[in-house]
Amino acid sequence: MSGTTLPSQVGVAIIGAGIVGLAIALEITSRFPGKSVVVLEKEPSIARHQTGHNSGVIHSGIYYKPGSLKARLCVEGAEMLMGFCKENGIPFEACGKLIVATSENEFPQLEELYRRGQGNRLNGVRLLGAGEIHEFEPHAAGLRGIYVPSTGIVDFREVAEKYAALIALRGGLVLLSHEVTALKRAGTCSVVETTKGTIEAELVVNCAGLQSDRISRMANARLDLTIVPFRGEYFDIVPAKRYLVRSLLYPVPDPRFPFLGVHFTRRSRAQCSPGPQAGRLQQDFHKHRRHRRLRVLPRLLDHGVEALENVIGRVLPLQQQSRFRPGPAETGPRVAPRGFGTRWIRGTGPGSEPVR
Distance of alpha carbon 308 from alpha carbon 295, whole angstroms = 22
Per-residue pLDDT of 21-59, as tens digits, reads 999 999 999 999 999 999 999 999 999 988 988 888 999
Cis peptide before 276 (omega within 30 of 0): yes
Average pLDDT of 213-218?
Answer: 92
Q: Which amino acid is at 223?
A: L
pLDDT of residue 96: 94
* Residue that wins the pLDDT comparison between 355 and 177: 177
* DSSP assignment string, 200-230: EEEEEEE--GGGHHHHHHHTT-EES-EEEEE
Position 311 confidence tier, pLDDT thresholds 50, 70, 90: low
What would be the CATH architecture of the domain defined by 226-346? Answer: 2-Layer Sandwich (3.30)
Pick the CATH number of 69-152 from 2.40.50.140, 3.90.1640.10, 3.30.9.10, 3.90.79.10: 3.30.9.10
Architecture of domain 9-51+156-219: 3-Layer(bba) Sandwich (3.50)
Angle between helices 156-169 and 19-31 (to 10 degrees): 30
Position 223 scores a pLDDT of 78
Task: Please answer whether residues 235 and 242 qualify as being in contact, where contact means their C-beta atoms are separated by less than 8 angstroms.
Answer: no
Candidate from 67-76, 80-89, 292-301 with smallest mean pLDDT: 292-301
Domain ranges of the chain: 9-51+156-219, 69-152, 226-346
The two beta strands, 57-58 and 152-154, are antiparallel
CA 256 to chain centre: 20
**pLDDT of res. 5:** 78
**Contacts made by residues 157-160, CB under 8 angstroms, sequence distance 24+:** 157/47, 157/51, 157/52, 158/90, 158/91, 159/19, 159/81, 159/84, 159/85, 159/90, 160/17, 160/18, 160/19, 160/22, 160/46, 160/47, 160/51, 160/52
Higher pLDDT, 287 or 172: 172
Q: Residue 268: helix, strand or coil by DSSP?
A: coil
Average pLDDT along the chain: 79
Asked whether this chain's domains 9-51+156-219 and 226-346 adopt the same fold, the reply is: no
User: What percentage of residues in the chain have a pLDDT greater than 90?
Assistant: 54
With a cut of 70, say whether residue 155 has pLDDT above it: yes
The answer to whether residue 107 scores a pLDDT higher than 90 is yes
Mutual angle of helices 69-88 and 156-169, in 10-degree steps: 70
User: What percent of the chain is predicted at pLDDT more than 70?
Assistant: 69
Collapsed DSSP state (helix, strand, coil) of residue 161: helix
The pLDDT assigned to 244 comes to 77
Greater confidence, 298 or 140?
140
**For residue 167, how many other CB atoms are within 10 A of its CB?**
26
Question: Is pLDDT above 60 for 259?
Answer: yes
Rounded-to-integer distance, Cα 320 and Cα 209, Å: 36
Average pLDDT over residues 46-75: 93
pLDDT tens digits, residue range 169-189? 999 999 999 999 999 999 999
Residue 200: closest CA among 16, 12, 33, 4 = 12
**Confidence at residue 50, expressed as pLDDT on a 0 to 100 scale:** 87
Q: Given a cut of 80, is residue 152 above it in pLDDT?
A: yes
The predicted pLDDT at position 1 comes to: 43
Q: How many CB atoms lie within 10 A of CB 325?
A: 11
8 A C-beta contact, residue 235 and residue 275: yes
Residue 250: strand pairing partners: 99
CA-wise closest residue to 263 among 227, 232, 228: 232
